[in-house]
Amino acid sequence: MNSVALSILLSLIGFSTALGSIVDSRTWTDALGRSFEGFFVSTDLDTVEVNKAGRTYAIELEILSDEDRDYVFAQLGYQKATMGTLSGGAFAGKIEYYWKLKRDRVLVHVYSWEIRFKCHDQPGRQLSSISFTIGNIEGRKYWGTTMSSEPYEVDDYIRRDSNLVIKNRSFEIELEDRRDTEFLFLAAVYESGGERTGFNYDLSETYLISGEKVRWPEKD
């Protein structure tokens, strides 16, 4: 936590004025368990504005509790879900993310995802861009049905088997006619060294299906 964020949080906690008369007032808690009273104003998903005793403060979302983060995303119409990852190239485990419908697209926000970068036989190379892919399994077909986002630029040198942390990243996926499919895993695809390859493409047909099945609602 940087000094500015800490000073803002401490000043909030230090206030003694109660806001019981404000309907939207709630208790906010940081990662260390310290709490204060205030009500939600707005957020850009990096910071959240909270009003305390008539004064508005911008607080970094990452220093607040998981419950507070869920509340903030809910104010923007997001739902929280859990999805499995492909085992191997991405660390085996569950990825928590938030999603909502945006016209004919699904807007997905991944708060934190740690991925092992595979360079295959090369000692390392420049990573140019990453796309996110949501998919399912059809008769153990390798990828089954998938939907991918537009790539976003990375342009960084990543060493073989090092970890790439994806934090606070939003991406959109067009629904098309695949909204009736139950999606089970989240994967990342990278472009590097003039090739389009993937974090997960070198794996055998072993999937971690530990997340909840996700079925997008019908489009309007």
State how many domains the chain has.
Answer: 2
Flag the least confident range among 33-47, 94-108, 121-135, 200-214.
Answer: 200-214
Does residue 185 sit in the same domain as residue 135? yes
Which of 76, 111, 143 represents a domain boundary (last residue)? 76
- Find, among 116, 106, 53, the residue nearest to 79 by Cα: 106
Flag whether 5 is in a domain.
no
Report whether pLDDT(188) > 50: yes
- Range among 3-7, 47-51, 120-124, 179-183 with highest mean pLDDT value: 47-51
Rounded Cα distance between 118 and 61, Å, is 31
pLDDT, greater one: 116 or 45: 45
Does residue 200 sit in the same domain as residue 170? yes
| Res. 120 pLDDT band, cuts 50 70 90 | very low
Does residue 108 sit in the same domain as residue 176? yes
The set of long-range contacts for 67-73, using a CB threshold of 8 Å and a minimum separation of 24, is 67/29, 68/28, 68/29, 69/111, 71/26, 71/40, 72/40, 72/43, 72/45, 72/48, 73/45, 73/98, 73/109
Rounded Cα distance between 45 and 115, Å, is 22
Whole-number pLDDT of residue 206: 34
Does residue 126 sit in the same domain as residue 92? yes
11: helix, strand or coil:
helix
Does residue 66 sit in the same domain as residue 113? no
Flag whether 10 is in a domain.
no
Report whether pLDDT(87) > 50: no
Does residue 29 sit in the same domain as residue 85? no
Whole-number pLDDT of residue 151: 76
Averaged over 102-114, what is the pLDDT?
A: 79
* Residue 44 near residue 168, CB atoms below 8 Å: no
Which of 33, 49, 76 represents a domain boundary (last residue)? 76
Whole-number pLDDT of residue 210: 37
Averaged over 187-196, what is the pLDDT?
A: 62
Flag the least confident range among 73-87, 107-121, 127-141, 205-219.
Answer: 205-219
Q: How far is CA 139 from CA 142, 143, 205, in A?
A: 9, 10, 11
| Res. 160 pLDDT band, cuts 50 70 90 | low
Flag whether 17 is in a domain.
no
pLDDT in tens, 17-59: 333 334 468 999 988 888 889 999 999 988 999 998 889 989 9
Domain that holds residue 53: 25-76
Rounded Cα distance between 73 and 139, Å, is 35
Instruction: Specify the CATH number for the domain of residue 173.
Output: 2.60.40
Which of 42, 76, 110 represents a domain boundary (last residue)? 76
Q: What percent of the chain has pLDDT over 70?
A: 47
Is the pTM of the predicted complex or chain greater than 0.75?
no
Whole-number pLDDT of residue 207: 36
